[in-house]
């Protein structure tokens, strides 16, 4: 008789990973269920749920497929073990490389990566210093919207990602001076007032270890123009940001901003 397909309620990324660690070699199917009440009680949006669930599945060599609705408030996604090293989407390829760099991938996940990917990462890691590079990011808000940039698909680091604008700190440059320079180079704006709100460690998809210094740019002069990214635009849903530390920095700002006067 065929094995019974399981249904698992999603409550956190940590618990989903724990389930995969225990069951990824034993089970062949699971329907992971998202309840919209999670957004109301714990601010876990469907996009956050989907991103977290897919990334942890990749770590254990599993893949998402069908989606079905359960009643009015729940959605379920079917996850199964990946059966070959082929058919990787571009977005999941970027995710897998990032997870590999960050040390999240298990042997089960690595075993279903195309061989040339794993070889490329190993070769790059052996010849690369683990020195941490300082990066500054500028968070610009328009009410509850934030300015994001869509990186070019041919960028060496984080190709195609949706991120907060910013860049590397040059030698002998202060964080504040680097932020002013990056905002002029990328957006053609001059900063009047900015405040450091968060520092986070991050590993880019090219293997570079970064310490990101997030600044809330509270006032600036100039008309915003995209000079380096594929495009920049105002985004109302910060869960669309590709990098988790970016989302945390925006959440921190939104918690301290005064509510709109209506």
Say yes or no to pLDDT of 121 above 80. no
Q: Which residue has the tokens 């399981």?
A: 6
The region that residue 196 occupies, defined by phi over 0 for left and psi between -120 and 50 for alpha, beta otherwise, is: beta
Q: Output the pLDDT for position 5.
A: 62
Q: Output the pLDDT for position 2.
A: 45
Written as six digits, the tokens of 183 are 């905002």
Confidence of residue 116 (pLDDT cuts 50, 70, 90): low
Q: Output the pLDDT for position 11.
A: 85
Q: Which residues contact 197 (CB under 8 A, 6 or more apart)?
A: 139, 214, 215, 216, 249, 252, 253
Give, in degrees to the nearest 5, the angle at Cα 211 between 90 and 20: 50
Average pLDDT over residues 48-61: 91
CA–CA distance from 204 to each of 59, 173, 211, 237 (Å)? Answer: 17, 22, 11, 22
Distance (Å, whole) CA 41 – CA 70: 19
- DSSP string for 115-162: HHHHHHHHHHHHTS--PEEEEEEEEEEETTEEEEEE--TT-SSSTT-E
Q: Taking the model in full, what pTM does it have?
A: 0.58
Q: What is the pLDDT of residues 128-178, one digit of tens each?
A: 445 789 999 999 999 989 999 998 887 777 888 899 999 999 999 999 999
Q: Output the pLDDT for position 242.
A: 85
Average pLDDT over residues 182-200: 95
Q: Output the pLDDT for position 27.
A: 83
CA-atom Rg of the chain in angstroms: 20
Q: Output the pLDDT for position 67.
A: 92
Say yes or no to pLDDT of 193 above 90. yes
CA–CA distance from 255 to each of 128, 197, 216, 241, 250 (Å)? Answer: 38, 12, 13, 18, 9
Residue 243 DSSP SS3: coil
Number of alpha carbons in the 13 Å side-chain half-sphere of residue 18: 7
Q: What is the pLDDT of residues 27-38, one digit of tens each?
A: 889 999 999 887
Q: Output the pLDDT for position 244.
A: 78
Confidence of residue 256 (pLDDT cuts 50, 70, 90): low
Give, in degrees to the nearest 5, the angle at Cα 250 between 13 and 257: 130
Q: What is the pLDDT of residues 88-100, one digit of tens each?
A: 887 788 888 888 8
Q: What are phi and psi of 149, to 5 degrees?
A: -125, 140
Nearest to 242 by CA among 151, 138, 136, 179: 151
Q: Output the pLDDT for position 181.
A: 96
Say yes or no to pLDDT of 127 above 50. no
């Amino acid at each position: 008789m065929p094995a019974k397909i399981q249904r698992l309620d999603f409550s956190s990324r940590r618990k989903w990973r724990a389930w995969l660690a225990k069951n990824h070699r034993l089970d062949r199917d699971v329907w992971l269920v998202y309840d919209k009440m999670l957004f109301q009680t714990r601010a876990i949006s469907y996009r956050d749920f989907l991103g977290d669930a897919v990334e942890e599945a990749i770590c254990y060599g599993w893949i998402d497929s069908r989606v079905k609705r359960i009643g009015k408030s729940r959605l379920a996604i079917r996850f199964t073990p990946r059966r070959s090293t082929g058919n990787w989407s571009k977005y999941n390829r970027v995710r897998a490389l990032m997870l590999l760099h960050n040390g999240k991938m298990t042997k089960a996940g690595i075993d279903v990566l195309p061989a040339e990917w794993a070889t490329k990462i190993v070769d790059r890691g052996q010849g690369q210093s683990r020195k941490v590079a300082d990066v500054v990011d500028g968070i610009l808000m328009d009410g509850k919207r934030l300015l994001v940039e869509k990186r070019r698909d041919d960028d060496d680091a984080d190709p195609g990602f949706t991120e907060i604008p910013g860049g590397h700190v040059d030698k002998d440059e202060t964080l504040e001076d680097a932020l002013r320079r990056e905002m002029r180079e990328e957006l053609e704006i001059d900063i009047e007032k900015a405040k450091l709100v968060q520092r986070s460690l991050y590993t880019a998809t090219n293997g570079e270890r970064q310490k990101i210094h997030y600044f809330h740019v509270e006032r600036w002069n100039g008309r915003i123009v995209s000079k380096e990214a594929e495009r920049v635009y105002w985004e109302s849903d910060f869960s669309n940001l590709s990098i988790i530390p970016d989302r945390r920095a925006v959440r921190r700002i939104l918690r301290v901003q005064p509510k709109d006067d209506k």
